[in-house]
Structure 1
């Protein structure tokens, strides 16, 4: 689950970044800005849904793996495995923040502009802002993969601590609860109301 989620999320970001850069370089002045903007907005929204599912799988499986290999918070700083994992977690948090910004800020703005008939505003956000955002996310995602080879062994073993207990019904029940919590959080994160932009919102960053 962890590998599939990572490949789906990171691989999708890298492919989108490469596509965005290539299309942006090959674009001519005769291109239909409205069509380009609509295409990118649709791609962005659909990938956000796929990424959200992948992230949910990563959170659940990653929590299990971290508990299996790290016994205490202190082992994140006192062992080589823990320090590599801590770096990976920081990078993943950066990706989660970027994804949350896309879903909670940029996509609602695009929907509001579409409803208001502002095609240039949609183009500016979707077709011009999108390549830069997704390229940044892809670079961070590649950095996450670069940390993976350093996750060798176990922080528990390196700290001389006992191994994690074997999988049992209690662990299974905790996993079910965690899956339910993550699923509810992901669902809540997609609930948004599209409203017209205030004048102060017209400045796109």
Structure 2
């Protein structure tokens, strides 16, 4: 059964680890070991913490111990050193394992590298900030329409140049008359 379990976890595309009731790690799949470039003997116990970024290590370990002592599921993000020395952001999910009678037998964790996702989110946020700055500079604004509630919002309280409050521009019935196939409509202030 143990060989079958190892075969299953080694074919998964995520980093998988296990810890006993004592919270010490006792298993790492081959994906974890390849990712970190370390041996199973180096990782067991609390050895895996050596690969965690120094700024994340203490807080992560305290969170880890607290959650395991409470026997609860939890997720955490931290930076883990990859075999090439680069620190990558990891999303790790931990689940306690119980026998049929409810006795705790340990924990299993599965982790994925989310560095690229975090980078894309940061890039999108920077693009949005840049776009808002460009709109402000051009004295333009963005109308947003919630397609579920049909609620309209604008990113500015006033139309620059006219000093007309946007709330006074349209009545609620006129909001509904606006095209709903677009989630964003642009409005430029009259000069």
Same fold (TM over 0.5): no
Higher alpha-carbon Rg? 2
Instruction: Give the TM bin, normalised by the shorter chain.
Output: under 0.3
Give the number of the structure with larger relative contact order, counting CA–CA contacts within 8 Å between residues 6 or more apart: 1
What TM-score, normalized by structure 2, do the two folds share?
0.25
More strand by share: 2
What TM-score, normalized by structure 1, do the two folds share?
0.24
